[in-house]
Chain A
Amino acid sequence: MSAMRTETSPGAMEQGDIVARIDGGSKAFGQTRDLVGRLFERAGLMEPPGSVRAVDGVSLEIRKGEVLGLVGESGCGKSTLGRMIAGITPLSQGSLYWHGRDVARLAGREKLALKLKMQMIFQNPFASLDPRMTIESIVAEAPRAHGLIARSGAGEADYVGRYLDYAGLPSYLRNRYPHELSGGQRQRVGIARALAVQPDLLVCDESVAALDVSIQAQIINLFMDLRHELGLTYLFISHDLGLVEHISDRVAIMYLGRVVEEARVDDIFTRPRHPYTQALLSEIPRLEPVKRRFTALKGELPSPLSPPKGCAFNPRCPKATDRCRADIPRLLQGDEGHSVACHYA
């Protein structure tokens, strides 16, 4: 329901209903110094290295069975946040919970088992598939390593066949190599591979951005079918508002490392409250055959190396005041779980 949440979840919400939750999660990327550099730094001869806060104090929860859309421009930190939630990128600050369990306190088999439930599907299917492995071995690799199929290989063909089938791939492709497939088929292999470890959450990072429109529709339909067939939960990361509107139940909008607005999909699209969300929505190209004046939002996403003081959006915001240039607005919850981080929303 909320993004900014207190320690205890309100109402009857069971911990088990929340597949993943991130609480005040931050990720800073900094230069790493070699030994000499560290010594110099210790001696006060060098400044400590600068760091970039790619994700800055984000709290989000993803409930079982829902599709949470995560929208933002390149550089806003949406992919980093996705990787944090999937357990690929460790948090610099804050906590991550999977099925109510604090990931920082998990270890060993238990951590592995939960981590397996959070799978990621990437944008470029060709870069994420080993070119020297057949489709069957790509899909079978993880289940075999995790003991979902016997190491002897018994039952492997059936197992792989089942997940190829889920992903809509004909089984005669199982002995092919990635370069022999089309872009859409490769993305289906990425999906089959993720499904083969029986995940609860799929983090889809621009998973259809590189595909043609007609293929995009096929993959989106596949995602929606799988959601119902396998009871999957999605974090759907995309810059494409049209897609996000179509597939999501809730949407979070990110700007320069922070969530600036979060609400149910119809709330966001009918009553956007943050000026950035409003600008984004007004600039979606529409299928209306009317010559438009493209009225541009001025400027670009500022560099996270030197974020503006106050609200990160203030240099581009038509409504910015002195207050916006001084204070960072907090993400505050309004009616029906519609949260927004703007002094004047």
Chain B
Amino acid sequence: MTMLSTPGAGDAPLLDIRGLTVSFAADGGGEGIAVNDVSLELQRGRILGLVGESGSGKSVTGLSIMGLIEKPGRIAQGQILFNGIDLARLSDAQMKSYRGKRIAMIFQDPMMTLNPVLRIGTQMVEAVLAHDKVPLAEARARATEALGQVGIPHPEERLDSYPHEFSGGMRQRVSIAIALLHRPDLIIADEPTTALDVTIQAQILSEVQQLTERFGTALIWVTHDLSIVCGLADEIAVMYGGRIVEYGPVADVIRHPRHRYTNGLLHSVPSSNRRGARLFQIPGTAPSIFDMPEGCAFRPRCTAADEACRQVPHMVDEGCRQHSCFHPVAAEDMR
């Protein structure tokens, strides 16, 4: 795969999610909406930061694209168009030809990807052969190459190691190498550096950055950490209560957040506060999907909320960016 030029505006997006709604059945009957009417677009070679706190629906969105929503969850509505094909309507067997081949996922815990009782090499060869019928030696060569690409020293020897013989950072590299085996068009990374140290996190970010550039891979980086997305992503989508509340180019969203939630989140980070001063804080806690407030989900925690917010806010289009707030943060210094 060669490096792709910057996509023009006319190009069809690689991924086009339209009105995706995912619901989960509750034990005692009833349903919770984990992802509510989410629409996203992603061009080849671009990086989207999908940001939200726990329960915001960011991970479920990622899992939906991978076709990994299991009972009691289901995709209730919407389309997940990948190169024009609606993944939401594919059968399990059809989805298998995409999963791991065209779309790959990296999880927070690399042991979600790795089998603890098999050598790394065995698992990687298996992953190659799952989609490509190639001789064993070639599969092994590809595995070695992939390990080398993510910065694992002596990849040839390390193929014979078991997952427990690697450190946490190295294990995460292995799972990234597995994701890269088939040079997928899209990688979904769900908090892959959250459990890692800052220096290891920087190493992984640097490698992911280089690899996506080199192969023109599109990347969705799911995280709760705005500051990671800042240095990495092109666009950012902020989720709250299952919905995207703000969506746009990173610079716009970070410099001039429009939604009250994004604004609060940005201001509660220590570095945006004077040292030693009380941090800006959003009161209250995020709602449960089984107990969503009516109207705007952020209403009970929002200082600007009023009667209007009892209606579900619609996405307001502002050129290259969108938000869904009835009382957006003042736009006077916005261009």
Contact = CB atoms under 8 A, between A and B. Distances in A.
A285 B227 contact: yes
Given A293-B209, A294-B231, A297-B202, A265 B268 contact: no
Nearest to A276: B199
B161 to A, nearest CB: 15
Contacts of A294: 202-203, 205-206, 209, 231-232
Interface in B186-219: 197-203, 205-207, 209
Interface stretch (A7-15, A92-100, A139-147, A209-217): A209-217
B19 interface: no
Contacts of A288: 230-231, 254
Interface residues of A, number: 46
Nearest to A216: B268
Contacts of B253: 289
A287 B230 contact: yes
Most B Cβ at <10 Å: residue of A183, A217, A241: A217
A189 to B, nearest CB: 14
A169 to B, nearest CB: 12
Given A285-B227, A286-B227, A287-B266, A214 B271 contact: no
B278 interface: yes
A296 B169 CA distance: 13
Contact of A239 (B198, B232, B269): B198
Interface in B14-65: 53-54
B206 A296 contact: yes
A273 B120 CA distance: 40
Nearest to A298: B203
A21 B250 CA distance: 46
A217 B272 contact: no
A297 B199 contact: yes
Interface stretch (B95-103, B129-137, B281-289, B307-315): B281-289
B12 to A, nearest CB: 25
B231 A213 contact: no
Nearest to B53: A212
B108 to A, nearest CB: 12
Given A296-B199, A296-B202, A247 B228 contact: no
Contacts of A283: 198-199, 201-202
B196 to A, nearest CB: 8
Closest 6 CB pairs of A and B: A246-B270, A292-B231, A217-B268, A294-B206, A285-B227, A296-B203
Given A214-B281, A217-B279, 5 more contacts: A239-B198, A290-B231, A294-B232, A298-B203, A301-B197
22 contacts: A74-B197, A213-B53, A213-B226, A213-B265, A214-B53, A214-B264, A224-B278, A239-B198, A242-B270, A246-B270, A246-B279, A279-B199, A283-B201, A285-B201, A285-B227, A287-B230, A287-B269, A289-B250, A294-B205, A294-B232, A295-B206, A298-B203
